[in-house]
Amino acid sequence: MGIIKTTNLIQKLLVSCAILLAGFAVADARPNTVNLSCSQVKSLVRSHRSILLSTGRHTYDRYVVNVAFCPSGDYAKRAYVRTRDRNSCRIGYTCTMDNPLEIWRD
């Protein structure tokens, strides 16, 4: 009886590890803008409407095609990223809670 419980525990641990490793593999699969052309990145944003893109080795952000894909109450801010062929490529928008039209007064 003890051997069966130990075997089940080991199987559960192995399955948990496999799921965890699969999660890391999916995270690494995020497209990186510096490896793609400007037109390729724009096309990704347009086709997915909302997408997570890496913008460097340890940086990423969520990009959207328009404000309709932002959470309620958020605003769309123009997004520029570095791509393989351009230092600054406008690819769509990021969502922000800051109202770009508000004028701040001291």
Instruction: Give the pLDDT of residue 106.
Output: 45
For residue 64, with 0-12 CB atoms within 10 Å meaning exposed, 13-18 middle and 19 or more buried, which class applies?
Answer: buried
SS3 category, 80: strand
pLDDT digits (tens, 9 = 90+) for 94-103: 999 987 666 5
Higher pLDDT, 79 or 16: 79
Ranking 17-26, 32-41, 49-58 by mean pLDDT, the lowest is 17-26
Q: Which of 44, 18, 21 is closest to 31 using CA atoms?
A: 44
> For the chain, which residues make up each domain, given as ranges?
1-30, 31-106
Higher pLDDT, 52 or 11: 52
Give the up-direction half-sphere exposure of residue 93: CA atoms within 13 A in the CB hemisphere: 17
Residue 15 has pLDDT above 90, yes or no: no
SS3 category, 99: coil
- Neighbouring CB atoms inside 10 A of 73's CB total 8
